[in-house]
């Protein structure tokens, strides 16, 4: 095999490997994005639960305050 054919073979192997690496990187980016979106969704769900508990606590305090105001008079 002469020098020119050796360079062609090395070039073809290099381009093939780089194409595979780029495809793998693109797939990895989409997988990481999906994981981040899932974590974001879970955090929002937990935050929503905490907000609902706070609202329930506020309702209990308001009812207790109303009861105390009615019985204070």
Kindly state the tokens that stand for 54: 């706070």
Number of Cβ within 10 Å of residue 15's Cβ equals: 10
Kindly state the tokens that stand for 48: 């929503």
Inform me whether the pLDDT recorded for 70 exceeds 90: no
Quick: pLDDT tens for 9-63.
Answer: 999 999 999 999 999 999 999 999 999 999 999 999 999 999 999 999 999 998 9
DSSP line for 1-69: --HHHHHHHHHHHHHHHHHHHHHHHHHHHHHHHHHHHHHHHHHHHHHHHHHHHHHHHHHHHHHHHHHHH
Look up the pTM and report it.
Answer: 0.64
User: How far apart are the C-alpha atoms of 48 and 32, rounded to whole Å?
Assistant: 24
């Amino acid at each position: 095999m002469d020098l020119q054919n050796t360079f062609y073979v090395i070039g073809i192997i290099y381009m093939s490997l780089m194409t595979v690496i780029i495809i793998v990187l693109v797939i990895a980016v989409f997988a990481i994005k999906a994981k981040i979106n899932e974590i974001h969704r879970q955090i929002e769900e937990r935050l929503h639960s905490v907000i609902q508990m706070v609202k329930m606590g506020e309702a209990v305090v308001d009812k207790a305050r109303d009861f105390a105001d009615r019985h204070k008079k």
